[in-house]
Amino acid sequence: MPAFIEVEYLDGLAPGKGASVAIGSNTAAVFKVDDAIRAIEGSCLRCGADLAEGSLQGKILACRGCDWRYDVTVGCVVGIPALRLVIFDVKVVGGQIIIANP
Domains and CATH numbers, the chain: 3-101 (2.102.10.10)
pLDDT category at 1 given cuts 50, 70, 90 is: low
Amino acid present at 2: P
Mean pLDDT for 4-15 is: 83
pTM, entire model: 0.91
The whole-number pLDDT of residue 53 equals: 96
pLDDT band with cut points at 50, 70 and 90 for residue 30:
very high
Give the mean pLDDT of the chain: 92
What confidence tens digit (pLDDT) does each residue in 35-92 have?
A: 899 999 999 999 999 999 999 999 999 999 999 999 999 999 999 999 999 999 999 9
Cα–Cα distance, 78 to 70 (Å, whole number): 5
- The 10 Å Cβ neighbour count of residue 68 is 20
